[in-house]
A and B are shown apart, each in its own frame.
Chain A
Amino acid sequence: MAFDIFAELPKLLWLVIAVAAFLAVIGVLLLAVDGGPRTRYDWWQATCFLAPAGILLLTGLVYPVIRTTVLSFHGPGGDTSVGWDNYVWMFTRPEILLVLRNTFLWVIFAPVLATATGLVYSVLVDRSRYESIAKSLLFMPMAISFVGASIIWKFVYAFRPANADQIGLLNQLLVWAGGEPRQWLLEGPLNTLLLIVVLIWIQAGFAMVILSAAIKAIPAEIVEAARIDGVNGWQQFWRITLPSIWPTVTVVLITISVQTLKIFDIVRTMTGGQFGTSVIANEMYSQAFRYGQLGHGSALAVFMFLLVIPLVLIQIRNARRTREAQSL
């Protein structure tokens, strides 16, 4: 059967109807706002403006967070209470401990290496003649999907037996160097590190963009003064550039860490979580949606949430400190 454009029409029709209906509702809302009573407080208007987001967030995030927490103390079907069993399961089963170890590896390596690469690169290309092109090259992976990136790297890691021509770049380099080709994605814990490379490849561009903006904001007087004092480039990087942008560096590190904790697409596309590469997010998906273990899945989700919270608290504290520093 060839591609049939007419089979796609209902989708497009529903798209147009849905968007038009939505915009009509918003339009009516905007008109209704000004028809309401005028008082000292904007009660009526605020209710109209906040209602759509309020309803969606309450049903889609607030209620589910409570429900998932409750489910994490229940059995597979979500109806019988099992106390802390799901959490005990999580911290005693070797295969889940492996999942936790992998997540730990991800959170240690991905944020640090992505941020370091982004920082070094933004310093190296800053104000060079090809700055914008050079930055686009590093930044481009940010635009594509994790699935697309995973396929790109699966190809780099592709394996052919030693007597055949290699099609994966990594094995070809190994062969040229006189080694034997290896099945990169099957050998733990190396395979987890190779998956982490994919996330570093994606996130370095993000780190570079944010850090590059911070570097450009360093006051010229400071740099000027340092130069008069006769510091060399190396000292200047460690004593001036890095301390000046340190708050931004931590912001970038934490933002990437939070995303890393939730990483799912790369693991699922490249190995499906097999060969000892699974992480919390992938295991949560497998438990809840493939094995029907709602309790196990929910406990994993709650644990992930607990890991994210301290990171975000640091983030908020940093943000407040920066704002206070700026307002002085």
Chain B
Amino acid sequence: MSPPRTGPDPAPDRTAAARPSAAARVRRRLSGTGASAAAIIIAVLWTLPTAGLLISSFRPEDQIKGTGWWTFFSDPSLTLRNYEEVLFGGTSTRQLASYFVNSFVIALPTMVFVVAIAALTAYALAWMNFPGRDWIFIGIFALQIVPLQMSLVPLLSLFSDGLTIGTTQVLPAWDLQGAFQFTRVWVAHTIFGLPLGVFLMHNFIVQLPKSLIEAARADGAGHGVIFRRVVLPLIVPALVSLSILQFLWGWNDLLVALIFAGGSVEVAPLTVRLAEMAGTRGEEWQRLTAGAFVSMVVPLIVFFSLQRYFVRGLLAGSMKG
């Protein structure tokens, strides 16, 4: 319900009407029906698969397995049993609630680590004065192109054997048990997230006005103080963007978790468990459908509530290699 426009401020509308974008004109010229029909068809194609799985996840087991989810509309019956069973029920190996916690325990610290280290690094590369600065930046930028796969075997053996040069043990082996096993996943995710993280933060930080930093320097502030008091408050939107992206990457990742967390209920995240279920229990649709939605609920909440920042982060990072 919107009140009739009589106010004195139609200015934004007027500019919007006077300068429609190129695409708006194309759309108008391609003329209504055909274009809208095409748009609607694409939108339906993109939404229907998810909708089908969502509807199925609330249907009783025998119905999921016996009839298509579209019969729900002629014969609706809803149940929460699938969710209850997949989250808490059954034997200990089947409950997803534990894996759900693991996903959080993997994604949250990684997010903090990457964002903090990336901000520090980006600040140094943008505003500190030391020779070789540009080369270090180019080096980190170039590391974006290294596929994870190049790093998996050596990194895993670094964790399990440590590093020995000659006869000197440079890095000790990490023999981690229980909850401490998360450490390896955190470190691995942080390493893989850093190059793009530094690049994104650098894009934002380098655009801060030079006069601001110089004025603070002239007042005698060191870089630690400038970073904390001047830079951090100004780059909050960038921090939020990177946090969201990094959280979602950590949450949605399968490969890093497979290698560094293994498949145990102690540390494996939802994605690992779901991939396993899809392989070994591929026909248990009541578990798979509910399980898939359990894993999607957090990303979807993040997405719909913080879409603006998510998009901004993607736009800033779209030059990523």
A22 to B120, CA, bound (A): 13
Closest to B89 in A: A2
State which of A82-90, A103-111, A258-266 sits at the interface with chain B: A258-266
Which residues of A in the span 140-178 have a Cβ within 8 Å of any Cβ on B? 140-148, 150-156, 158, 165-169, 172
Partner of A56, one of B27, B65, B190: B190
The residue from B140, B153, B183, B295 contacting A147, defined by CB atoms under 8 A apart: B295
Is A241 a contact of B22 with CB atoms below 8 Å?
A: yes
Check A319 against B319 for contact (C-beta < 8 Å).
yes
Q: Kindly provide the distance from the CB of B268 to the nearest chain A CB, expressed in whole angstroms.
A: 12
- Would A148 and B29 count as touching, CB distance under 8 A? no
Which residues from chain B contact A212 at a C-beta distance below 8 Å? Answer: 23
B222-235 CB mask vs A (1 if < 8 Å, else 0) is: 11110110000000
Q: Residue A154 contacts which of B258, B266, B282 (CB distance < 8 angstroms)? A: B282
Q: Are A210 and B314 in contact (CB under 8 A)?
A: yes
| B-contacting 9-mer, from A91-99, A188-196, A229-237 | A229-237
- For B52, list chain A residues within 8 Å (CB): 152, 155-156, 169
Q: Are B39 and A18 in contact (CB under 8 A)?
A: no
Question: Are B318 and A255 in contact, with the CB atoms below 8 A?
Answer: yes
Distance A255 CA – B196 CA, assembled complex (angstroms): 13
Residue of A nearest to B29 (CB): A233
Would A19 and B112 count as touching, CB distance under 8 A?
Answer: yes
Contacts of A165 in B (CB 8 A): 66-68, 71
Interface bits B242-267 vs A (CB < 8 Å: 1, else 0): 00000010011111001100000010
**Of B88, B116, B131, B278, the contact of A26 (CB 8 Å cutoff):** B116
Of the residues A14, A215, A236, contact of B182 by C-beta under 8 Å: A14
Task: Tell me if B321 is interfacial: C-beta within 8 Å of chain A.
Answer: yes
Q: Which residues of B sit under 8 angstroms from A305, Cβ to Cβ?
A: 145-147, 149-150
Question: Would you list 27 pairs from A and B whose C-beta atoms are within 8 A, ordered by A residue?
Answer: A14-B180, A33-B222, A42-B129, A43-B130, A57-B191, A59-B155, A59-B191, A63-B158, A64-B154, A67-B154, A123-B23, A125-B27, A127-B20, A145-B296, A146-B252, A148-B252, A151-B278, A172-B70, A209-B315, A216-B21, A227-B25, A255-B321, A262-B148, A268-B254, A304-B150, A305-B147, A308-B145
Q: A169-B68, A234-B30 are in contact. List 14 more A-B contacts (CB 8 A).
A: A1-B92, A7-B98, A11-B102, A50-B121, A52-B121, A61-B192, A123-B26, A145-B271, A146-B254, A151-B289, A155-B285, A255-B321, A261-B147, A264-B254
